Amino acid sequence: MRTPTIIPTLVFGSCLIGAGFIAAPQAQAQSEHPILKDVRQIMEEVAEMRGLKYQAPVKADVQKPEVLKKMIRESFDEEASAAEMAKQEKVIKAFGLLPQDYELRAALIKFMSEQIGGFYDPEKKELFLIERPMGGGAEQKLNDQMVMAHELHHALQDQNFALDRWFDVLGDHEDRLQAYKGLIEGEAQLIGMSHLFGKMGRGKADMRQLNRMQEMMLKMSPEGAKFRKIPPYLIENMMFPYTQGAEFVQDLQRKFGWQGLNKFFNDPPSSTEQILHPEKYFGERDEPLEISLPGSLSKILGKKPTELYENTLGEFSASLLLRALGTPKGVANKAVHGWDGDRFAGFETADGRVVVIWLSTWDSETQAAVFENTYRTALKKKRPGSHLVRRGTEVLWVYGSKGAELKKLVTKAFKSLKLETRYAPMPAMTKKPPLSDFTPSTTAEEAPAPARTSSKASSGAGGLVRVESLGLSFALPSGYEAKEEPIAEFAEMTAAFYQKGKDKAIRIMAMPFDLGQAVTQARREMEGRGWTVSDAQVARGKGLEAKDEKNGDRTLIHFVGGGEGQTVAIVLSARKGQVQAMRDELAELAPWVDQPGSASKAAVHRLIHAGYQLSVTQVLDGTVPGDPKKGVVHGQFSKRSRAIVTVRPARGANLDVFGRRLTKQLERSGVQLLAAGVTARGKRDGFEVEFRRKGRHYRQLTVLAGGRLWTVSCSAQEADFDGLRASFGTLIAGFKVVKAKKREVY
């Protein structure tokens, strides 16, 4: 169930379930609210309780409910379109998780508009409390303080662990997202309730006991009547990070202490199973199996079926499924206890049928049989006509199909790939976020976003920037924004200019000298200004560091050879207080200079494949014939390096979507990602990525043409890669895909 990337506050009368973070609305805040006078004190109390420090003050304010409602509608329009949610709704209803006449989108918007009590915006680094009367007087003050403590704790988490890092990696994997939310919301809920109990003089909060009391109130109180009408799949999934998440975090806190919780933000829980059973997380860790359903399932369903929705239920939602079909809660929870992984995919056929395939795997055949028997009993009552079959530890459910088609779907689905995957964080994900992320000078409001394409440079997702006039691509550190014009003193040489606030800047220049001459010329220029100049260590090329003795400002230059008679200089400059951050940013740059001039000296293969002509420069010794069955169009190799051209169906994805998926796959596999993003090359955009994995260095470019993704990938042993950069640059720069004049097949 895809919704905007928000975590709602659920408020039932005077009983607060949880407070989350959400994109901030653009409206006049209610700055006169009395809770704002307590922000500094609550910050100090939260920081002391958790044993962490804020890097910077937190901007806090109060908003009216009507502003929140408008913002939620805008968030849904932007992140979860009506068309997309309509597709998801068909699959969710096919499972039986929602009544057929239930309007999912409208219900979610209404529910969230009425129940959100506060939110933290991790992009703007601001938090807001929503004005909701809770009885007035001391009760109102205590409630507002608890919400504020919860939200201020999100700011504390963000300033120490950068909350959005794992959201970016996990993407739309629902079960892993719920588990991660369980960690961050569970901890904030525990902090908020502990703060409340402290103010009330009631000792320590027991989250398990509080959740049971709250559940009883919702079952019995008149206020809970309207919530009892909401399908459990929706309301309990909303509550899960706060209720079960808080119990999970309290178990961790009791075992490891507050400081012991820090490590879990770099290695968060992988499934709702681990939240429900903490011993499967911090004990003998039970990682879920990731199931990859065959891509050819849709081909069995006739001509051009529509792909509706694919995701993972997880143990918690599997229990909700059984309950939605009439199974008692205790029986349902017991039946799903051996969950080990699942994946479902929904399609709509040309004749209007909704077909859903759901494959689950279990820890043992006995546990698979328990689930099968419980599920089969429930299906007979609420979902007749479904097909359920078990093979060993795997259980398959197919809805909306019969006859020969059903038989083929069953055969194909049981051939799904199953892997135990643990998402290992990249080193950068475990570092404390820089102070500059939480200072006003780095907010999006103060720096205009760069254009997608420009005569000077283009930048895309992932921070990769391309300066077309120089044939240069490089990783732009976060927070920098492209400026339309260079500053006057460099007007003749600057090809691109980027600035981060008022304290740091990056300039890209083409110097009309060979590499050695360029370094000498720059050193003379800076020494002539009275600066102290020394060599700087860079990954490749040459580097200089200069200090202005008058004011302490620093300049770092990374020189990269760009061909005969030309050198590209990447110049970083910073005020005195930003020097170390500038050195770190220089280390992160991954410059890539094409060699377009040498392409004419090398042989160029012109290949015809699927109605398109490919231009591929020969840069390595040998050539490998293409293998259309494997999607390989062309290959080149030498003793320790290779370059191949592959093609695959785009499956409706644009380059941005493809790039996000590829980047997440690479991050999950634990590679060292150097640069990634959509960049403009001539008239066609391409997604470029550079990374290291298991001793090899890779660089690849993917372009979209004719509903296919064409990729040229270069790789070599790490020790050999720098020596091949020029050749690989020629290959990348010269790779073109155009519609062929002749309909031939390569």
> Span 494-523, mean pLDDT?
85
Q: 293 and 258, same structural domain?
A: no
Q: Is the pLDDT of residue 223 over 70?
A: no
Pick the last residue of a domain from 282, 310, 327. Answer: 282
Q: Is residue 511 part of a domain?
A: yes
Q: Supply 87's token pair.
A: 């597709």
Domain assignment present for residue 634? The answer is: yes
Q: How far apart are CA 592 and CA 571, in angstroms?
A: 15
pLDDT over threshold 50, residue 75: yes
Same domain, 708 and 572: no
**Cα 349 to Cα 356: distance, rounded to the nearest angstrom:** 11
169, 256: one domain: yes
What is the domain count for the chain? 4
Q: What is the pLDDT of residue 487?
A: 64
Rounded to a whole number of angstroms, the distance between the first and last alpha carbons of the chain is 43
Q: Looking at 166-175, 207-216, 707-716, which range is the least confident one?
A: 166-175
Q: Which of 12-26, 48-62, 289-303 has the lowest mean pLDDT?
A: 12-26
Q: Answer yes or no: do 106 and 248 share one domain.
A: yes
* Residues 351, 250 share a domain: no
The residue type at 319 = S
- Cα–Cα distance for residue pair 1/539, rounded to 1 Å: 44
Q: Is there a single domain that holds both residue 330 and residue 264?
A: no
Q: For residue 108, what pLDDT is reported?
A: 87
Burial 2-41 (b: 16+ CB within 10 A, else e): bbbbbbbbbbbeebbbbbbbbbbbeeebbeeeebbebbee
What pLDDT shows up at residue 705?
A: 87
Model confidence pLDDT, tens digit, residues 459-488: 433 578 888 777 788 888 878 887 766 666
User: Could you tell me the pLDDT band of residue 47, with boundaries at 50, 70 and 90?
Assistant: very high
Would residue 746 count as lying in a domain? no
Average of per-residue pLDDT values in the chain: 83
- Whether residue 553 is found in the same domain as residue 681: no
Q: Return the ∠ at Cα 251 (arms to 249 and 252), rounded to 5°.
A: 65
Residues 456 and 479 occupy one common structural domain? yes
Let me know if residue 744 belongs to a domain.
Answer: no
Local confidence band at 447 (pLDDT 50, 70, 90 cut-offs): very low
Least confident of 107-116, 269-278, 378-387, 563-572: 563-572
**Residue 433 forms part of a structural domain:** no
517-571, pLDDT tens digit by residue? 889 988 988 888 889 999 988 877 789 999 988 888 899 999 887 566 778 888 9
Quick: pLDDT tens for 190-205. 999 999 999 998 889 9
Residue 530: predicted pLDDT? 87
Q: Which of 489-493, 510-514, 703-707 has the lowest mean pLDDT?
A: 489-493
Please give the pLDDT value at position 315: 98
Distance in angstroms (rounded) separating the CA atoms of residues 661 and 669: 12
Query: Is there a contact between 541 and 515 (Cβ–Cβ < 8 Å)?
Result: yes
Question: What's the confidence (pLDDT) of residue 79?
Answer: 66
Report residue 32's pLDDT band, with 50, 70 and 90 as the boundaries.
low
Last residue in a domain, options 224, 250, 282: 282
What band does 379 get if pLDDT is binned at 50, 70 and 90?
very high
Residue 571: how many CA atoms within 13 Å on its side-chain side?
A: 24
Nearest Cα to Cα of residue 322 among 65, 97, 61: 97
How much is the pLDDT for 128? 85
**pLDDT of the residue at 111:** 83
Contact 570, 474 (CB under 8 A): yes
Range of the domain at 582: 440-593
Give the dihedral of Cα atoms 527, 529, 534, 535; nearest 10 deg.
-80
The fraction of the chain above a pLDDT of 90, given in percent, is: 39
- Classify residue 429: in a domain, yes or no: no
Identify whether the C-beta of residue 312 lies closer than 8 Å to the C-beta of residue 342.
yes
- The one-letter amino acid at 94: A
What is the reported pLDDT for 485? Answer: 64
CB 269 within 8 A of CB 278: no
Give mean pLDDT, residues 305-318.
Answer: 96
State pLDDT tens for residues 592-643.
877 554 444 568 888 888 888 888 988 898 887 777 667 888 999 998 899 9
Residue 160, pLDDT score: 95
Predicted local confidence at residue 678, as pLDDT: 85
**Is the per-residue pLDDT at 10 higher than 50?**
no
With H, G, I as helix, E, B as strand and everything else as coil, classify residue 623.
Answer: strand
76 and 186, same domain (yes or no): yes
Would you say residue 432 lies in a domain?
Answer: no
- Helix (H) or strand (E) run with residue 347 in it: strand 339-348
Task: Report d(CA 686, CA 611) in Å as an integer.
Answer: 20
Quick one: pLDDT at residue 561?
A: 73
pLDDT of residue 16: 37
Of the residues 388, 420, 452, the one at which a domain ends: 420
Order of strands across the sheet that contains 339-348: 306-311, 339-348, 354-362, 394-399, 387-391
What value does the mean pLDDT take over residues 694-702? 91
